[in-house]
Structure 1
Amino acid sequence: MVDRNNSRLSIVKQCKLLGVSRSSYYFERKGESEENLRITRVIDEIFMDYPWYGSRRMTLYLQHLGYCINRKRVQRLMRKIGVVAIVPRPGTSKNHPHHKVYPYLLRGLEINRPNQVWCADITYLPLSKGFMYLVAIMDWQSRKILSWKISNSLETDFCVQALKEAISVYGPPEIFNTDQGCQFTSDEFTSVLKSHDIKISMDGKGRWMDNVFIERFWRSLKYECVYINEFHGGNALKKGLRKWINYYNEFRLHAALNDKTPDEVYRQTLNVAA
């Protein structure tokens, strides 16, 4: 039989050694309520149409739609999913004060071949109960999605995995462009780039347009795949994303690519360059 008094005494000693209160030892974090998850999804949908909305205008818009909600709650939910008005840009990736930031190398550069420039970004994706994050790596010239990973947190690991996968399949690009988020400025991520002699480029602070092609990809993905489906978990989301991204790469015609698919442009231009 367990001696509860000794057990409690042990817990008290552990808390003192760790410098935490007993209440925090027993604390279990609760997930968001179903109502907050529903509102969060609506906020994300609104932001896709009106990316210049800050918390004040977002609150007014939600109230106009019939939601009983105050600005403080809207601010918290927007922070939760990394949504910030267009200046500065959507902030799913937060910068880190001690990570090195690299200059933007694409200004005035003619990008005319595959694997010349890759870019990456992270976005929030709603589920029926909860949400996940998606990172995608895109070839700038062809708009082809080279790799992607989902995660239930904003740790760096899933970004590094996507990067390594893309390089292993397609070889290293000449330049890799991202925002200044801590995932992309981390030593874990940049060390992979440096080990392949890839030049590192980063958007200017508040310059969401510097990575505009992948921003447009997020919009298409959410409207054509995520919002019209009710994914109930990570496995269902992963299956749905795989199907839609394959369609995007292989069958979706792009006016900006002379009505060709990203796969066609990537292969054709690569063959010409070879």
Structure 2
Amino acid sequence: MSRKKGQTYTAEQKTKIVLEMLREEMTTSQIATKYKITSQSLGKWKTQFLENASLAFDVSGATKAYRDEIEELKTENDGLAKALGKATIKAEWAAGKLKSLDLINKKSLIESKHNKISVSEQCEVIGISRSHYYYRPAPMSQDDIKLLHRIDEVATENSEYGYRFIHEQLKEDGFSIGKHRVLKYMGILGIQAIYPTKKKLTSLKNQAHPIYEYLLKQYWTKIGRKKSVYVPTPNEVWSGDITYIRINGGFMYLAAVIDWHSKAILSYKISNSMDATLATDVLEDALSKYPKPKIFNSDQGSQYTSHEHTRLLKKHDIQISMNGKGRSIDNIVIERFFRTLKHGNIYINDYETIKDLKEGVKAYIYKYNFKRFHSSLDYRKPMVVFNNLCQYRVIPKIVS
């Protein structure tokens, strides 16, 4: 499918592309290159598709959530409706709704071949400039992917590095790149320095979602100059996070849930997009297999502050805890697991395909949980500790 300047995709074409993403046989960057679309657009389409999937079975319920709001608007604006007419009221109501949309969704509403309203007029109504509408960023190149891989390596090897130190290392490695571009790419990777001081967050927050207090201070102790964390029992504290996983020619994302006491990985999933669905699917899988925790901790990324994720935690009466601003050290247990996974599996295998990646990670996590000694557990094995020294075996599976 070749995309020309100014071209828009039909709903049928978007559905076909999203279904191809959901099969997860290609990375997001590979699909973006194939259809000449940005990775950001693909992510928005996937989110929109999943959020509205239920409408296929309940079309009549699509407007149910807005009925009370519409009735209230009718009552409040009755006098104005008489003066200006129903058409004016509807136009103002629609304009208000449009303002809450992001740029990609606004652009998707514009019809380039509309026979009565020009593109310029549509842009004016929606609230974007023509230049924003016509701008089409190029898909990520192999050089960009190579750069992402190196940033991930540097950040994993030097977890205390912020974007300035990573930028210096990249310059030493021979890359020509500016500091702001490094910061942008760290955002794509979901990377921030693990260091207890104020630094700029690269995890993307949604300002409309509430941020919760960090509840794990009680588990931190100081021995000399070093800080360590101790949670006395399994299922007292779980935490979740998402990390970048490289493969040949692209990258995927891995989400996982870990038990802080035993360091056992309770659930995980590999996906070609980093969104709220990924985080929620992994949490749902863990809750379906194990007793619920008292506290669930995460960073302030939009995947974890989303209504879907926080609603699931509240449904199970789990206390919600979130890292302090600029403090990914607050989620150090899962950060250390990701480092172990990358050094012990991802970097040395350099996977060629997504299938090989999924099989390799599955085998490694089984080994990590059931066969690998853990020094912080007095050289016991995480899943044995989690199950209170029983031989009960549950193999963590990839969420389908």
TM over 0.5: yes
Which secondary structure does the structure 2 equivalent of 1:228 belong to? helix
Match of 1:97 among 207, 214, 217: 207
The equivalent of 2:168 in structure 1 is 60
Q: Distance in 1 between matches of 2:240 and 2:200?
A: 14
The runs of 5 or more residues in structure 1 that have no matched partner are 1-6
The equivalent of 2:34 in structure 1 is none
| Contact 1:92–1:122, Cα closer than 8 Å, also in 2 | no
Q: Distance in 2 between matches of 1:250 and 1:12?
A: 66
The equivalent of 2:217 in structure 1 is 107
Which secondary structure does the structure 2 equivalent of 1:124 belong to? strand
Shift of 1:133: 1.5
Q: Distance in 1 between matches of 2:115 and 2:384?
A: 62
Q: Does 1:32 align with 2:140?
A: yes
Q: Distance in 1 between matches of 2:270 and 2:217?
A: 30
Q: Distance in 2 between matches of 1:51 and 1:33?
A: 26
What is the correspondence of 1:8-27 to structure 2 with a 5 Å cutoff?
9-10=113-114, 13=117, 15=119, 16-17=121-122, 19=126
What is the correspondence of 1:57-136 to structure 2 with a 5 Å cutoff?
57-85=165-193, 86=195, 87-88=197-198, 93-109=203-219, 111-136=231-256
Q: Distance in 2 between matches of 1:262 and 1:178?
A: 20
Between stretches 68-77 and 207-216, larger displacement belongs to: 68-77
Distance 1:144 1:58, change over 3 A: same
Shift of 1:42: 0.9
The equivalent of 2:151 in structure 1 is 43
Q: Distance in 2 between matches of 1:189 and 1:235?
A: 28
After superposition, the C-alpha distances for 1:136-163 in whole angstroms (9 at most, x for unaligned) are: 1001110000001122222100111101
| Contact 2:190–2:242, Cα closer than 8 Å, also in 1 | no
Which secondary structure does the structure 1 equivalent of 2:217 belong to? coil
The equivalent of 1:160 in structure 2 is 280
Between stretches 105-114 and 142-151, larger displacement belongs to: 105-114
AA in 2 matched with 1:64: E
TM-score w.r.t. length of structure 1: 0.85
Shift of 1:105: 1.8
Q: Distance in 2 between matches of 1:215 and 1:36?
A: 24
The equivalent of 2:268 in structure 1 is 148
The equivalent of 2:362 in structure 1 is 242
AA in 2 matched with 1:77: Y
Q: Distance in 2 between matches of 1:123 and 1:11?
A: 46
Q: Distance in 2 between matches of 1:208 and 1:51?
A: 10
After superposition, the C-alpha distances for 1:173-218 in whole angstroms (9 at most, x for unaligned) are: 1211112222111110011111111111222222222211111101
The equivalent of 2:292 in structure 1 is 172
Match of 1:265 among 385, 390, 393: 385
Distance 1:59 1:11, change over 3 A: farther
- The structure with more radius of gyration: 2
AA in 2 matched with 1:181: G
Shift of 1:12: 8.3
Shift of 1:73: 3.5
Number of residue pairs matched? 265
Which secondary structure does the structure 1 equivalent of 2:274 belong to? coil
The equivalent of 1:4 in structure 2 is none
The equivalent of 2:350 in structure 1 is 230
The equivalent of 2:310 in structure 1 is 190
Match of 1:212 among 318, 321, 332: 332
| Contact 1:121–1:179, Cα closer than 8 Å, also in 2 | yes
TM-score w.r.t. length of structure 2: 0.60
Q: Distance in 2 between matches of 1:234 and 1:68?
A: 30
| Contact 1:32–1:130, Cα closer than 8 Å, also in 2 | no
Shift of 1:263: 1.1
Between stretches 86-95 and 246-255, larger displacement belongs to: 86-95
Distance 1:57 1:112, change over 3 A: closer
| Contact 2:384–2:390, Cα closer than 8 Å, also in 1 | no
Distance 1:227 1:90, change over 3 A: farther
Between stretches 123-132 and 226-235, larger displacement belongs to: 226-235
Between stretches 24-33 and 161-170, larger displacement belongs to: 24-33
